[in-house]
Amino acid sequence: MKAHDGMYIDGAWRPAAGPDVIEVVNPADERVIATVPAGTVEDVDAAVRAARAALPGWAATPPAERAARLAALRDGLVARRDEIAETVTAELGSPLKLSQTVHAGVPIAVTGSYAELAATYAFEERTGNSTVFHEPVGVVGAITPWNYPLHQIVAKTAPALAAGCTVVVKPAEDTPLVARLFARAVHEAGIPAGVFNLVTGLGPVAGQALAEHPGVDLLSFTGSTAVGRRIGAIATGMVKKVALELGGKSANVILPGADLARAVNVGVANVMSNSGQTCSAWTRMLVHRDQYDEAVELAAAAAAKYGDRIGPLVNAGQRERVRGYIEKGVAEGARLVAGGPDSPHERGYHVSPTVFADVTPEMTIAQEEIFGPVLSVLRYADEEDALRIANGTVYGLAGAVWAGDEAEAVAFARHMETGQVDINGGRFNPLAPFGGYKQSGVGRELGAHGLTEYLQTKSLQF
């Protein structure tokens, strides 16, 4: 076990204000692998003060220079790719291949995209007799989750730095080790002291202190809708800007003319990836009643093939939460066709890849975010019925539509109340805006839309 000391504040690793520590547990074998300091109100205050002091200089830095620092940061992440992957596997439990391709690969791509955007974005424009300046919003408080621990830090930090903002990050307590790696990469990239600061700590202590700090101009939070509501209420009460990336219960709609086998297999893979710990996962598969039985057979067979190939859930509490939803699905009358609440391993926080059939739209497992490897397969009568079911939750983060004719899929997708829809298996695009309708959040991340979240406008009339 390694005991990590210090917070990255004002360009240096500084001792924490208090003696408390957080134990980092490997979810695959339940062993404590490290400790990090549990930050206090004093640590958060020191970090925010450092960010405020660094703001004027960084905001005045030419965009081309900010772009150069971000490019250096990207290169630093590339150089650490294997270390990043191994660290995420140790603290999150994800299989090493997934850690390399997604947990390390996607943040590298996103950092690179903001290096390019910082150099090319029009921070000034003319409209009529006015010049409009796009200026940094100020100090950003970023509270990030454990499910994609480096990607979520980068998706907030990279656009904030590109915009000229300074940042204080409070990473999830389950996955603080990759955040410390990121801070080292920031330091080596030559980003000035105080521009990026890292405080590890518990949500109700350090997270709350960051949310309530009067020196923070924008709060960016990714996590559950329940916590997001509290963060949003704090921000609104203090008249701060807020960006919230929250829960999802995304629909994977398979229209009758689609390639059924491909749609089902890709849909199951989408839910099982990262052990189902993905806010945008397509956890509801909607299939026409004439193809329903075949789709259920395909889904059960696809899930069974995963077996031991998915990693554990992040912690014991998450495992019990997911097991509870599986038991509730059975109790409410859904039919278990793959998996179940039992763990396939003696140690580790594992849950078997699970598929439910005969799920109706009002069931708990069709309405609430489970955040585990659990798929619900629902039947629909016609497209109108499918759309009603797809839009029939409080969430609206992502989704998918499969059809024999692309135009038909697009027409259906345009009526879905959701922020992002993949058509016939469209690939992830790090330049496309990501974010939700309804209770899935406020604001967008990634690409130019993600950059504008960290900018405010000033117009000069001539």
Residues in Cβ contact with 204 at an 8 Å cutoff, skipping those fewer than 6 apart = none
- Our answer to whether residue 165 is catalytic in this structure is no
CA distances from 48 to 2, 30, 39, 141, 170 (A): 28, 34, 13, 8, 11
Check 91, 165, 212, 279 and give the catalytic one. Answer: 279
Check 91, 173, 212, 245 and give the catalytic one. Answer: 245
Query: Residue holding tokens 């135009």?
Result: 407
- Our answer to whether residue 279 is catalytic in this structure is yes
As a whole number of angstroms, the longest Cα–Cα distance in the chain is 72
Which sequence positions are flagged as catalytic?
Answer: 245, 279
